[in-house]
Chains A and B, each alone.
Chain A
C-alpha cells in the first residue's frame, strides 16, 4: 500500500513567510497573498494504517506540527480555506532524495525491518498559494520554483484539489526495463564514424547514442589499433573505461602533452618543475611531504601533523543544476581529503564563485528550438551559494575563506571553486600516513552510497563545452550525511587501526577510475560487477562501472583485516562491500555474472585491458600555440574622463567585485570545530578579509593561513602578468595576517576556455610560465592543482541565433601557510586614533583591467607587473615586523586599488583617517592612478606611534612611506597630489555604499 503522510505547521511557518517574500520580490510583486507549505512523505511499503500513523508521529513535533495520512483507498486531504493553486514539487525518478533516505532509515530502526528492493520513501512539498494569480502566472511560478532537470511539479486548482480529494499519488520509482547486456563495438569503421562515437557516444540497438565519450579521433585510432592487434573488437564497457581514463578531466592531456618547444608539457615543466626546484633549493627546510601524486597535496604542519589541501571546480554541473552542482562540488572535494594517504580529516573548506551580474537578464538557450533555457544569472548564483551552504554546514566543516568575482562572460557557465584542507597525523597506527599501497590479494572494497544512473558521463561531459547534448544524468545531488558517516568511520575510527592499505575517492569516472588508479599500486585488479550494490535493478554493466554516484570511497583491505573492518563499518551505519580483488596480473579485468531465472549465473569476462595500455596508452598530441594579436590601442595610456574621486569611491565600494558579501560569510559556518582565529568578517565594521586563520589543532599555538588570488580581467591583455598578479596577491594576503613565508605553499586551478584554439593555448602557456617564474622567485611551491579546459557555452540567444560564450581565462591561485603563533595574527581593522598609516610598496600607472576601468568601461594602459625580488624583500620585512608585534593592522591592496584598501581598513575599525597622496612612493602624477591603480606588492598598515621607529627600521631598504594617520572621529579624508582635499566623507556614507549591494540577499 502506498501512503502519503502530509506534515504541516500549526504555528507560524517562517519558511513559508520567507518563500512568499522571495517570490514577491522577484517575479510576482503584489500577486501573492498567502502561501502555505506542506511536507509530504510518500511511503511505498506494505504497512497498515495504524503503522503509517505511527510513522507520521515519528516525523513531527506535536507542539508545532500536525499530519494527515492518506492512502489510495482512504484519501484524506487538508481542509484549507480557498486557495488559487496547489503546486506539489518532488524529484524525478532516481534523483538523490536525502530527506526520504533519513525517513527510510528511521522507519527501519523503529520497526526493525528493512525495506525490500523496490520499496521506498519519496519526499515532496506542496505549496498552496492564494493571491491574484492567473493560470499563466502559476505556470511561470512553477518555472521559477523548480529545475526541470531534476524536479517535477503537479499543479491543481482549488476545485480540482477538492474534486480529487487532494494531490495525486505519485511514486517516482526508477523502472529500467532493458536486459543487462554487454555489446561489442565494431571499430573497423571509417574515421567519420569513429569521430561520431567520440562526440555522441556508442550506438544503442535502437540507434540512439549513449552520450559523449569525448575522445578525439587520434585517441580512437589508437584504440582501434590496439584491438586490431588483439584481433577482436572492444566491448562497450572497455571503450567507456578508456574514455573515462583518457578524458581531459582525468589525464589532463592539455597540460601533459608537448606544446611548442616544451617537450615535457606545461605541467611537468612549469608546475611540477617549479616545486622540484624549490624543494631542492630549500634543502632541509623543505616542508612539502606529498605533492601532485595523491588526491590532495600535503605539507608539514608540526612534528606531529601534516596538513593537506585540494581545490576543485564543479563548473559544468553547476551550470545545469547550481544547487546540486555546488553541493556535490564541496562534498566531492571533501573526499579528496578523506582519500589522501590513509585518510585525512577535513578541517576547513574554501570557496570561490565566478558569476555573471545577478541582474543580467539576457536569456540563452541550449537548443535551437529555444526550449532548454539556461537558468537565470540570479538563480545560478543563489543555487550555488545554497549548495555550498548545505554541503559545508551539514558536514561540520568550517568554510571561512572565499571570494566572489563577477563578469558577464560567466553568464552561461559559472565557475565554482571548492577546496578542502585536511589534518592527518604523520603516523597512522604503525604506518606513515601519507603512504598507501594496495597489495595483490587485497579485497577491493566499496563503502558509502550505492550506485545509480545519476552521474553517468560526468568526466567526459566536463571535458567538453555545454550544449543541448549535455546529458542530464550528469546532474546529481550530494548526500552529506552518508558521507559524514563514512568520513568519521575512516578518519576517526579505523585509520589508526591500520585496517586498510589504500583508499581513494569515487569521483569522476566512478569505479572505473578509482579501481583503475589503485590497481596501479598492486599491478592489476579483477572486479565482479554484480557485487556492486546498486540503487535499483536493471542497470547496464558499463553504467555500474562508470557511474559517478556520490559519496563512495574505494579501499584496499587485506583479507585478514576484512572481518574487523566490515564489523566496524556496520556498527557505524556504513555499507561496505567486497567487489573484487587487487592482483599483480598487469591487467584490469572486470567480470559480470548475469543472474538467470534459475538462480544460476554465468561469470563472463567483459573487460580485459592491459594496465599499461589503460594508463599509458594514450598517444601524445604535440600542441601548437599562436600568439594572439593584441589591439595596439590597449597598450596606450588613455586620457580618462574627469570624475569626482569621492563619487568614484562610493560607486566602487558598491561594485559586485568589491562589496561586502557578509550574507555568505554569515550563512557558512566558520566557527564549527572551534578553530576560528581570524574570521571572514573582521573588526567592528565586519569587513570581508582577504585571508583567514584557523587553529586546526586546539592545543597548538600554530594556525593555518588561507588566501586566494584571481585576476581574470587581466587575462586577455597579458596572461603572464595575470598569473603573476594572482600569485603575488595570494602570497601577500597571507603574509599580511602573519603567515610565515618559509612555510607557504600554493595551489593552481586553471579554468580555461576553447583550449583547442592555439591562441588560447598561448595564453595558457604564458600563464603556466609565470607560475614557474614567480613560484620559484617567491620560493612558494605548488603542492596540488586542477584544470578545467573547456568553459565554453555553445547555444542560442532569444532570437535563435547561435552564440558562443567563453569564460575569460581564469586562474585561481590559493595559498596555504602556517602562522607560528596565532596570538600574533594581524587583523585588517584600524585599532586606535593617532596610529600612523603606512603604505608599503610602490604605485605605478597600472589601471588596465582594473575595477575602475571595468566600471568606466575603459580599456588601454598597463596591467600590473610583479617584481618578485622587490616584493619578497618587502614581505620578509613585514613578516619580521609582525613577529615583533609592531603592526596594529594590515590590509593588502587588491582589486580596486589603494583607496579601497584604505576604506576597508577604516570601515572595519570604525575609525576615520587622513591620507596625503603626495607621500606615495613612486612616480605617481595623477590622483586617479594613486587611488585606483592595482599595482601589486602593496600593503596598508597601521602602527602605534611608539612602535613607529622600530617599524621603520625593519622596513628600511624597502619602498614605503608614512602617508597619514588614524583619526578619532569618523571623517575619511584624502589630500590629492595637488595638495587639495579630493575626498572628504564619513564612515556612515562609506559603509552604506559598501554594504548596500547585497542587502536583500
Chain B
C-alpha cells in the first residue's frame, strides 16, 4: 500500500513544520512541507494529499490576533480546495498556531457541519503572557486522531490559548462531544507540582474536533513530546528504570497521534 500523503503548511512565520514532518514520517507517512504561496501558485495541490497539517508557529507574528491573518490568506485563495478536501473525508489537524488558524477559518467546531463559520475564539492567556511548559491532557472524545490514547504528557507554548465560546455554543459542543482534550492534573503536573490549567482556558479545554472527529485542533504540541528524551522527567525515569534493570523507551505517548493519522488510511 502507498504511504498516506501528508501536506504540512509553511510560510509567513509558521515554524514547527520540520519537527512535525519528523513525526508523520516516523509514523509511516510521506510528508511534504509546502509554502502556502506554492499552493496559491498551484505548484502543489491540497487534494493530492490525505492529511492536511497546520503546524505551530507565529504566522504574521500573531499581529491582530493569532492565526487570523494566515486564515484570511487561506480563505482568500484556497477555500474551495479546502472544502473539497474536507468533503472527501480526509484528516486535518491544527496544532497551536494551526489551531488558531483553523478556528479562524471556521473549520472548528463547524457545528452541523457548517464549515467556514467562526463560532469560537482563542483568547490571550489569563496572564497575557506567552507560556512554555509541559502539561497533561486527557482524551475526551472519539476522534480518530486520538485512538488508543488516554492521558498524554505534552508541551504547550503559546500566548493565546484561552478557549472561548458563548454559552449556547459551548453547550452544543459538549452535547456533541466535540471537546477532544482537557487539561488535567496528571503525571507531569504532579511531578513538577504545576498548575494544571495555566492559561485559564474555559472548562480546561485544550483541543476540540468537528462533528466528524476528523478535524482536530489542539493547543499542545505533540511533535515536541514524541521522544522520551523530550520529557522533563526523563532523566529521573531513566535512572529508575536503570536501577530496575530495565531499558529506557525511545518514544513518548504523543507519537501515537501521528501513528493514528497514518493508520487511519491503512
Using a CB–CB cutoff of 8 Å, the interface residues on chain A facing chain B are: 7, 11, 13-15, 17-19, 39, 58-65, 98-99, 101-103, 105-106, 109-110, 389, 393-396, 480-481, 484-485, 488, 493, 571-573, 666-674, 676-679, 681-686, 695, 698-699, 822-823, 825-827, 829, 831-832, 885, 888, 944
Is B197's beta carbon under 8 Å from chain A? Answer: no
Instruction: Report how far A888 CA is from B120 CA in the complex, Å.
Output: 47
8 more CB-based (< 8 A) A-B contacts, given A110-B72, A572-B11: A59-B64, A106-B72, A667-B131, A671-B230, A686-B192, A832-B239, A885-B242, A944-B239
Main SS of chain B's interface residues?
mixed
Q: Which residue of B lies closest to A111 (CB)?
A: B76
Contact A396 B58, beta carbon cutoff 8 Å: yes
Highest count of chain A CB atoms <10 Å: which of B12, B61, B120: B61
Docked pose: A679 CA to B57 CA in angstroms: 20
Contact with A along B187-228 (1 / 0, CB 8 A): 000011100000010000000000000000000010110110
- Would you list 17 pairs from A and B whose C-beta atoms are within 8 A, ordered by A residue? A14-B125, A14-B128, A18-B127, A18-B128, A109-B72, A395-B15, A396-B15, A396-B16, A484-B12, A484-B13, A488-B11, A573-B12, A666-B132, A666-B133, A673-B18, A829-B235, A888-B239
Would you list the 8 A-B pairs with minimal beta carbon distance, nearest first? A396-B15, A674-B19, A102-B63, A18-B128, A64-B121, A827-B235, A63-B121, A481-B61
CB distance from B150 to the nearest CB of A (A): 22
Q: Does B10 make an interface contact (CB < 8 A)?
A: yes
A915 to B251: give the CA distance in the assembly, Å. Answer: 38
Q: Which one of B61, B76, B133, B221 lies within 8 Å of A110 (CB-CB)?
A: B76
The segment from B141-149, B161-169, B174-182 that touches chain A is B161-169
Using a CB–CB distance below 8 Å, which chain B residues touch chain A?
A: 10-16, 18-19, 22, 35, 37-38, 41, 56-58, 60-65, 68-69, 72-73, 76, 103-104, 118-121, 123-133, 155, 157, 159, 162, 164-166, 191-193, 200, 221, 223-224, 226-227, 229-230, 232-233, 235-236, 238-240, 242-243, 248
B134, closest chain A residue (CB): A671
| Chain A residues, Cβ within 8 Å of B57 | 396
Contact of B38 with A571 in the complex, beta carbons under 8 Å: yes
Q: Roughly how many angstroms separate A110 CA and B128 CA in the complex, as a whole number?
A: 30
- Known A61-B121, A106-B69: A826·B235 in contact at CB below 8 Å: yes
B221: which A residues are within 8 A, CB to CB? 671
Q: Please indicate the chain B residues that have their CB under 8 angstroms from the CB of A827 in the complex.
A: 235-236
Q: How far is the CA of A671 from the CA of B223 in the complex (A)?
A: 10
Evaluate whether A389 and B130 lie within 8 angstroms (CB atoms) in the complex, with A571-B38, A572-B11, A669-B157 already known: yes
The chain B residue with its CB closest to the CB of A389 is: B130
> Contact at A666–B10, with CB atoms within 8 Å?
no
Q: Which single residue of chain B is at the shortest CB-CB distance from A942? A: B239
Q: B173 to nearest A CB, angstroms? A: 13
B12 touching A698, Cβ below 8 Å: no
Q: What residues of B have a CB within 8 angstroms of the CB of A389 in the complex? A: 130
CB proximity of A676 to chain B, nearest CB, Å: 6
Separation of A106 and B80 alpha carbons in the complex (Å)? 19
Contact B35 A672 (CB under 8 A): no
Contact, CB under 8 Å: A674 / B239: no
Write the chain B residue with the least CB distance to A396. B15
Contact residues in A for B35 (Cβ distance below 8 Å): 488, 493, 571-572
Please give me the residue from chain B that is nearest to A18 by CB atom. Answer: B128
Residues of chain A within 8 A of B41, CB atoms compared: 571
**Interface contact A673-B19, CB-CB below 8 Å:** yes
Contact (Cβ within 8 A) A667 B224: no
In angstroms, Cα B165 to Cα A789, docked, is 55
Residues of the B chain whose Cβ atoms lie less than 8 Å from the Cβ of A101:
63
Q: What residues of chain B lie closer than 8 Å to A484, measured between beta carbons?
A: 12-13, 15, 58
Bound: A58/B118 CA distance, A: 12
Q: How far is the CB of B216 from chain A (nearest CB, A)?
A: 19
Residue ID in chain A nearest B222 by CB atoms: A674
Across the interface, which residues of B come within 8 angstroms of A695, CB to CB? Answer: 227, 229
User: CB < 8 Å: which of B22, B126, B166 contacts A14?
Assistant: B126
The residue in chain B whose Cβ has the minimal distance to the Cβ of A57 is: B72
Residue of B nearest to A570 (CB): B37
> Are A11 and B16 neighbours in the complex by a CB distance under 8 Å?
no
Q: A988: shortest Cβ distance to chain B, in Å?
A: 11
Determine the chain B residues whose CB is within 8 A of the CB of A944 once the complex forms. Answer: 239, 243
- Smallest CB separation, A692 vs chain B (Å): 12
Bound Cα distance from A302 to B235, whole angstroms: 24
If A63-B166, A695-B229 touch, whether A58 touches B132 (CB-CB below 8 Å) is: no
Tell me if B128 and A393 are in contact (CB < 8 A): no
Chain A minimum-CB-distance residue to B43: A571
For the complex formed, measure the closest distance between the CB of A373 and the CB atoms of chain B, giving whole angstroms.
Answer: 27
Question: From residue A110, how far is it (CB to closest CB) to chain B in Å?
Answer: 6
Q: Say which residue of B18, B131, B164, B191 sits within 8 Å of A63 (CB atoms).
A: B164
How far, in angstroms, from A677 to B229 measured CA to CA in the complex? 6
Docked CA distance A829–B35 (Å): 43
**Which residues from A are CB-within-8-Å of B129?**
18, 667
* A831 and B191 alpha carbons, distance in the complex (Å): 13
Verify B60–A102 contact, CB threshold 8 A: yes
Determine the chain B residues whose CB is within 8 A of the CB of A64 once the complex forms.
121, 123, 164
B242 / chain A contacts, CB cutoff of 8 Å: 885
Q: Is the CB of B226 within 8 A of A674?
A: yes
For A671, give its contact among B58, B120, B224 (CB under 8 Å). Answer: B224
| Contact of B13 with A481 in the complex, beta carbons under 8 Å | yes
**A60 lies within 8 A of B128 (CB):** no
Which residues from chain A contact B63 at a C-beta distance below 8 Å? 98-99, 101-103, 481
Contact B16 A481 (CB under 8 A): no
Q: A residues within 8 A CB of B121?
A: 11, 61, 63-64
Least distance between A677 CB and chain B CB atoms (Å) = 5
Pick from A15, A62, A63, A98: contact of B128, CB under 8 Å:
A15
Contacts of B248 in A (CB 8 A): 823
Contact A831 B236 (CB under 8 A): yes
- A63 near B119 with CB under 8 A, answer yes
CB distance from B247 to the nearest CB of A (A): 10
Residues B64 and A99 in contact, CB atoms below 8 Å apart: yes
For the complex formed, measure the closest distance between the CB of A77 and the CB atoms of chain B, giving whole angstroms: 21
User: CA separation between A811 and B193, bound complex, in Å?
Assistant: 37
Query: In whole angstroms, how far apart are the Cα atoms of A69 and B38 in the complex?
Result: 35
List, in ascending order, chain B residues with CB within 8 A of A672's CB: 15-16, 56, 157, 224
Instruction: Select A831's contact among B15, B37, B162, B239, beta carbons within 8 Å.
Output: B239
Residues in B whose Cβ lies below 8 Å from that of A681? 232
Chain B residues in 8 Å Cβ range of A393: 58, 130, 157, 159
**What CA separation (Å) do A64 and B121 show in the bound complex?**
7
Complexed CA–CA distance, A768 and B123 (Å): 51
Interface centre among A39, A571, A699 (most CB of B within 10 A): A571
Beyond A389-B130, A672-B56, A676-B224, is A394–B13 a contact (Cβ under 8 Å)? yes
| Least distance between A537 CB and chain B CB atoms (Å) | 26
Q: Is the CB of B164 within 8 A of A11?
A: yes
B58 with A823: CB separation less than 8 A: no
Docked-complex contact B132 and A670, CB < 8 angstroms: yes
CB distance A61 to B69 under 8 Å?
no
Minimum C-beta distance from A790 to chain B (A): 34
List residues of chain A with CB within 8 A of the CB of B64. 7, 39, 59, 99, 102-103, 106
Residue numbers in B under 8 Å from A572 (CB-CB): 11, 35, 37
Contact across chains for A14 and B123 when beta carbons are under 8 A apart:
yes
- A888 CB contacts on chain B under 8 angstroms: 239
Cβ contact of B230, chosen from A62, A485, A676, cutoff 8 A: A676
CB distance from A66 to the nearest CB of B (A): 12
CA distance A61 to B120 in the complex (A): 9
Report the separation of the CA atoms of residues A475 and B13 in the bound assembly, to the nearest whole angstrom.
25
- Known pairs A61-B68, A827-B235, A832-B239; A14 contacts B230 (CB<8 A): no
Complex Cα gap A668–B157 (Å): 9
Most buried by A among B118, B159, B229: B229
Q: Which residues of A contact B18 (CB under 8 A)?
A: 673
Taking CB atoms, residues of chain A closer than 8 Å to B58 are 393-396, 480-481, 484
Interface contact B13-A59, CB-CB below 8 Å: no
Tell which of A63, A573, A698, A831 touches B19, judged by Cβ atoms closer than 8 Å: A698
**CB closest chain-A residue, reference B33:** A492
